Amino acid sequence: MLSKKIEAALNGQVAIEAASSQAYLAMASWAENQGLSGTAAFLYRHSDEERVHMLKLIKFINERGGHAVVPALKQPSTKFRSITDIFQSLLEHETKVTNEINGVVDLCLKEKDYTTHNFMQWYVSEQIEEEALARTLIDKLNLIGNDKGGLYLFDRDLEGTAGGPGATAA
Ligand code: FEO
């Protein structure tokens, strides 16, 4: 059975994953409008994965005797300066998500809720990989600079890149 504190923290995380899904959906739509079809495909998949992260939490909360609350959604940013701006925003967002997840893990230890602590380890690993992937993409974009040919290849390569390591999880 979840304590009220843990239940509230997990519901907070539900809202964060939902917001992530919306944020990446907006990025995908922007990229699609720019003709960056590979980047758009990557971001659409990434948005779907965030929804899976949210669902995994919802199911866990309910299975443990809590009540998972479906949150309201805020309008995410819809305008971006460039593809680099997209991935920098994505990394910034994921860094915040990591901090939130660490907060939940910390609370689990304080509350001695080892079951939820164990469940949250999947999210801890996921964050390491998501941040690493975002950094790799930013490094590539920095190398490419203003080279249109390089950008074309970057976009084409993203077409087949999984949106994140959680693609097959949950
Ligand atoms: Fe669900 Fe991108 O963390």
State pLDDT tens for residues 108-141. Answer: 999 999 999 999 999 999 999 999 999 999 999 9
**Average pLDDT for residues 50-60, to the nearest whole number?**
98
What pLDDT, on a 0 to 100 scale, did the predictor assign at position 135? 97
Ligand 1 lined by 49 (C-beta under 6 Å): no
Read off φ and ψ for residue 88, nearest 5 degrees: -70, -40
What pLDDT, on a 0 to 100 scale, did the predictor assign at position 163? 59
Ligand 1 lined by 21 (C-beta under 6 Å): no
Distance CA 146, CA 49 (A): 30
* Spatial CA neighbour of 166 closest among 75, 45, 66, 69: 45
Domain 4-160 has CATH 1.20.1260.10: yes
Average of per-residue pLDDT values in the chain: 94
What's at 78, amino acid-wise? T
Instruction: Calculate Rg over the CA atoms of the chain.
Output: 17
Q: Tokens at residue 56, please? A: 């995994």
Is 94's pLDDT higher than 80?
yes
Cα 143 versus chain centre, distance: 25
What pLDDT, on a 0 to 100 scale, did the predictor assign at position 160? 80
Q: Tokens at residue 103, please? A: 């907060």
Distance CA 111, CA 76 (A): 33
In ligand 1, the atom with minimum distance to the C-alpha of 164 is 2
| Residues of the chain above pLDDT 70, percent | 95
Is 57's pLDDT higher than 60?
yes
What pLDDT, on a 0 to 100 scale, did the predictor assign at position 162? 65
In ligand 1, the atom with minimum distance to the C-alpha of 94 is 2
What pLDDT, on a 0 to 100 scale, did the predictor assign at position 164? 52
Is the torsion defined by CA of 67, 47, 95, 31 positive or negative? negative
What pLDDT, on a 0 to 100 scale, did the predictor assign at position 4? 97
pTM: 0.92
Ligand 1 lined by 7 (C-beta under 6 Å): no
Of residues 156 and 161, which shows the higher confidence score? Answer: 156
What pLDDT, on a 0 to 100 scale, did the predictor assign at position 167? 45
**Average pLDDT for residues 153-169, to the nearest whole number?**
71
